[in-house]
Structure 1
Amino acid sequence: MRDYGFKEGIMTSVVDEDVEFLPMMSFDEDEEGLKAEVPDVLPILPLRNTVLFPGVVLPITVGRDKTIKAVADTFRGKKLIGVLAQRDADNEDPELEHLYPVGTVARIVKQLRMPDGSTTIIIQGKGRFTAGEVVTTDPYLQTKATLLKESELPDETSFEAIISSIRDLANDIIQQSPNIPSEAAIVLKNIDSPAFLIHFVASNLQIGVVEKQQLLEAPGLQQRAEGVLKFLQSELKMLELKNQIQDRVKMDIDKQQREYFLSQQLKQIQEELGGSPGEAEISRFMDRANRKKWNAKVREAFDKEIEKLRRIHPNAAEYSVITNYIDLL
């Protein structure tokens, strides 16, 4: 199996501590084979701050005693574990009612002991399931589990169009985001499975747990794909707006810097030539202005015109226009 990392907005995913995750590529899971493999009762791994999708791989730092025990037993027995997202990420000891009912059956690919004594596991989603009644909470939460089957596609032509749109929009986001390496486009190109493409992109969407959970709970691939497409459209629109604002701000800053640079150059030239040719007239205007009782708006207009006057030569056509306007003030 080839593994790929899609680095669009690395998310934070924790059981007890913050860790980064990198969704990775997987082949489609055979539903019948998985159904035979999933037991009637599963140990539960509470997950906060993100949602695990089928095919996606997450490294997770495990800190709670119950979770460490569940992980150790599952990994030792080469069994499967049920991953459910927490409704409240701050809950340190969640019970079943504190978890979303639909989650993902996962396999623990690797277990690592870290130098600080913590445990990090790498899990891979296999298929969606619904958690049923609690079987036991000692030494950790275990519930009955029902594997969810994907509903049939209502319209294959429409589904193919949605998948194509997801690819296009994801590529647009990659192209327009300065934080995403261009290699991410290659990752998308190498995903052949429509189901995994949906789950892969869903994992990388810049949305909250509630929205991701809604996608996971969608009864069929087409509904899930439509949801992913909607969020992608929103994300692209936000990215385009952000880029427009940044470009506009950059242009304003560049203009200000350019004007300041030219102004400083002009001042230096004037100093070397013994002062500005129009300095006497500017001084006269300033003296008159200091005797006026203007409101702030008129004073601001006057100062603006004086600055213009300082930057142009008295022989310039615009010079007389500005002086006439100042006289009117």
Structure 2
Amino acid sequence: MDENKKRIIPLLPLRGILVFPSMVLHLDVGRSKSVQALEKVMLDDHEILLSTQTEISIDEPTEEQLHKVGTLATIKQMLKLPNGTIRVLVEGLKRAKIERFLENDEMFEVEMQVLSDDTEEVTPAEIALMRSTLKYFEQYIKLSKKVSAETLAVVSDITEPGRLADVIASHLPLKIAEKQELLECTSAEDRLLKIIDILNNEKEVLGLEKKISQRVKKSIEKTQKEYYLREQMKAIQKELGDRDGKTDEVSTLQERIKEAGMPEHVEEKALKELERYEKMPPS
């Protein structure tokens, strides 16, 4: 296919998701126009344009509610589910720009043109950027633990700057607007710079999250320890008859006995009874 040549192709609107070139994933499709578009491309060359909606809540998007830069993709598998939904496995191929929408009541159909990445030989500056990007990505993987070591090994073998940026971007927790910005960036060098900036920010955020988590853990441990010690003290006091709770009362009674002017043998007996009362466990 001549990439500089404009082409008529069905379009599949996406809600809350964006597909980068080189990205492979499953999509569940249920909207009538989208199903019609899939059925048409499956009878043709299996290629379709993927464009993300500007608003996720809209069920029937208009032309204005679709991003003009999307991803030309190929349908690798298609399966009709019992509930009528179609599950497709798509692979992103290249960036593409919508030139115009065609009139078609059954589906979205557009005239589009492929947006080429830099096709010149990889420059020393791009090689340096790729190395820096991989270094930051490795640090991100160690901190986040959401990306496998196998992914890093696969990414490390990529030799094209643009593809490296796209594959790494597909593994980052970015908002749709941030992903769209990267998709619309056709310069591989600029995309790598953006990825490095994103990875650096993620590294700082993950570092702060780790510190906060450690503080919370220490606070919880301290609270649990203090609670355990309080409960332990209560148990000890109960076992000893909870003397501390009677101290003031016993002291007052002792003073009253001594001030009452009782005969010596009566006072002695009263104090013994008071001592016995003090040792009695609480009811």
TM-score range, shorter chain: 0.7 to 0.9
Equivalent residue for 2:135, pick from 165, 168, 171: 168
Q: Which residue identity lines up with residue 178 of structure 2 in the other structure? A: E
Q: Which residue identity lines up with residue 226 of structure 2 in the other structure? A: E
Offset of 1:187 from its aligned partner?
4.4
Whether the 8 Å contact between 1:35 and 1:147 is mirrored in structure 2 is no
Give, in whole Å, the separation in 2 of the partners of 1:133 and 1:185.
Answer: 39
Residue number in structure 1 paired with 2:180 = 213
Question: What's the CA shift string for 1:83-123, capped at 9, x where partnerless?
Answer: 11111122222232221111111000110111222111111
Give, in whole Å, the separation in 1 of the partners of 2:118 and 2:243.
Answer: 81
Shift in CA distance, 56/91, structure 1 to aligned 2, threshold 3 Å: same
Equivalent residue for 2:14, pick from 38, 41, 47: 47
Q: Does 1:128 align with 2:102?
A: no
Give, in whole Å, the separation in 2 of the partners of 1:251 and 1:58.
Answer: 41
Q: Does 1:260 align with 2:232?
A: no
Residue number in structure 2 paired with 1:26 = none
Give, in whole Å, the separation in 2 of the partners of 1:152 and 1:276.
Answer: 88
Whether the 8 Å contact between 1:56 and 1:125 is mirrored in structure 2 is yes
Give, in whole Å, the separation in 2 of the partners of 1:156 and 1:280.
Answer: 86
TM-score, normalization by structure 2: 0.78
Residue number in structure 2 paired with 1:224 = 191
TM-score, normalization by structure 1: 0.68
Residue number in structure 2 paired with 1:195 = 162
Whether the 8 Å contact between 1:45 and 1:83 is mirrored in structure 2 is yes
Whether the 8 Å contact between 1:103 and 1:216 is mirrored in structure 2 is yes
Offset of 1:169 from its aligned partner?
2.4
Please show how residues 310-321 of structure 1 align to structure 2 within 5 Å: none
Please show how residues 316-327 of structure 1 align to structure 2 within 5 Å: none
Give, in whole Å, the separation in 1 of the partners of 2:131 and 2:208.
Answer: 24
SS at match of 1:225: helix
Matched residue count: 251
Offset of 1:161 from its aligned partner?
2.8
Offset of 1:245 from its aligned partner?
0.9
Q: Which residue identity lines up with residue 173 of structure 2 in the other structure? A: Q
- Report the aligned-residue RMSD: 2.9
Offset of 1:81 from its aligned partner?
0.8
Shift in CA distance, 188/261, structure 1 to aligned 2, threshold 3 Å: farther
Deviates further, 164-173 or 234-243 = 164-173
SS at match of 2:76: strand
Q: Does 1:151 align with 2:118?
A: yes
Give, in whole Å, the separation in 1 of the partners of 2:151 and 2:119.
Answer: 30
> What 5-or-longer segments of structure 2 have no aligned partner?
252-283
> What 5-or-longer segments of structure 1 have no aligned partner?
1-33, 285-329
Offset of 1:58 from its aligned partner?
2.1
Give, in whole Å, the separation in 2 of the partners of 1:111 and 1:278.
Answer: 77
Residue number in structure 1 paired with 2:27 = 60
Question: What's the CA shift string for 1:129-182, capped at 9, x where partnerless?
Answer: 111122332322212111111136798333223322322222222222355555
Give, in whole Å, the separation in 2 of the partners of 1:187 and 1:276.
Answer: 71
Q: Which residue identity lines up with residue 204 of structure 2 in the other structure? A: K
Residue number in structure 2 paired with 1:318 = none
Pair member with larger Rg? 2
